[in-house]
Amino acid sequence: MKVLKVISLLIGIFALLLIAGGTYIKVALPDTGPPPDLKVKRTPENIANGRYLANHVTVCMDCHSKRDWELFAAPIADAKLGAGGEVFNQQMGFPGTFYSSNITPAALGNWTDGEIFRAVTTGVSKNGKALFPLMAAHRFGKMDQDDIHDIISYLRTLKPVNRDVPESKLDFPVNFLVNTMPQKASFVEKPQPTDTVRYGSYLVNAAGCVDCHSKVDKGSVVKGTEFGGGMEFKFPGGVLRSPNLTADAATGLGSWTRDRFVTRFKTFASPNYTAARVAINEMNTPMPWAMYSGMKESDLEAIYTYLRELPPIKNKVVLFTPATP
């Protein structure tokens, strides 16, 4: 009997600790501080830089717009740029069903610049709600503040679009743990383009290459697989896997020249290029080639230079496995 009492007491203490911890997570978190008192500059130069970043580097417009999955690489489907509604779900490796939000002035008109800044760089919404890191605040919070300011200035120029977006739903226990995910930003100064490797590293972080070109578990990158490829995307026609971006000669980019790397992107910017229609049993890709193809050649070259500096990971990726008929 005495042993049973001790066990019951321990179970009770454990339950109290769980309740206390759960209460803390739900009530005290997220805690990244209040939004800054901020008014971004809206000069033609700031807006142009924000447009370039949002469309061709951080590719905000890719996630926050509807894409046409009947065409190769799913280019943006309509003129409702930034109106949200794109779906990210369990088939793509995420712990829930997520819908990208409307980031046009129709939805952000009552947000201050500081509230947008906090959401983008720490993952905390206007109402203090934690945002799942599909909205990559963990990356954007490591950028130069001026670049984030310029993206905000560009978002203010988008055509307002009224689109009702469903509420995202997270699976258990992520719906509970999401409050622990926002983190305070740790901004850096943007390197000079002449410092090629550091500048390339800055662009790779902004572009989020590691998020897709790694193995992923419940939406998080598996440590030790960074840039080695292997994330799976399930399509009606089969399973696509992201390629290895490390400098391994046999399974990665080790045999690629800089010109070949740049040309691979710029092919999709050619005036002669038209996205092919993809049959239901053919390979497609989530890689937003149309958006990244608008990156400056010098920026693509910097990215290539940085990727060649990464430790090689030998990981032979089978890019596509057709669905069983």
- Domains of the chain by residue range: 39-189, 191-325
At residue 13, what are phi and psi to the nearest 5 degrees? -65, -45
In terms of Cα–Cα distance, which of 83, 82, 210 is closest to 142? 210
Q: How many CA atoms lie within 13 A of 76 on its CB side?
A: 20
**Which residues, at least 6 apart from 118, have a Cβ–Cβ distance to it below 8 Å?**
32, 33, 34, 35, 36, 124
Angle at 323 between CA 319 and CA 325, to 5 degrees: 145
Q: In what order do the strands lie in the sheet with 238-241?
A: 232-235, 238-241, 320-322
Tokens of 216: 């992923």
pLDDT, tens digit only, all 325 positions of the chain = 565 554 555 455 544 444 444 454 445 556 799 999 999 999 999 999 999 999 999 999 999 999 999 999 999 987 899 999 999 988 777 889 999 999 999 999 999 999 999 999 999 999 999 999 888 999 999 999 999 999 999 999 999 999 989 999 999 988 888 899 999 999 999 999 999 999 999 999 999 999 999 998 877 899 999 999 999 998 888 999 999 999 999 999 999 999 999 999 999 999 999 999 999 888 999 999 999 999 999 999 999 999 999 999 999 999 999 987 6
Q: Is the CB of residue 132 less than 8 Å from the CB of residue 168?
A: yes
| CA 83 from centroid of its chain's CA atoms | 17
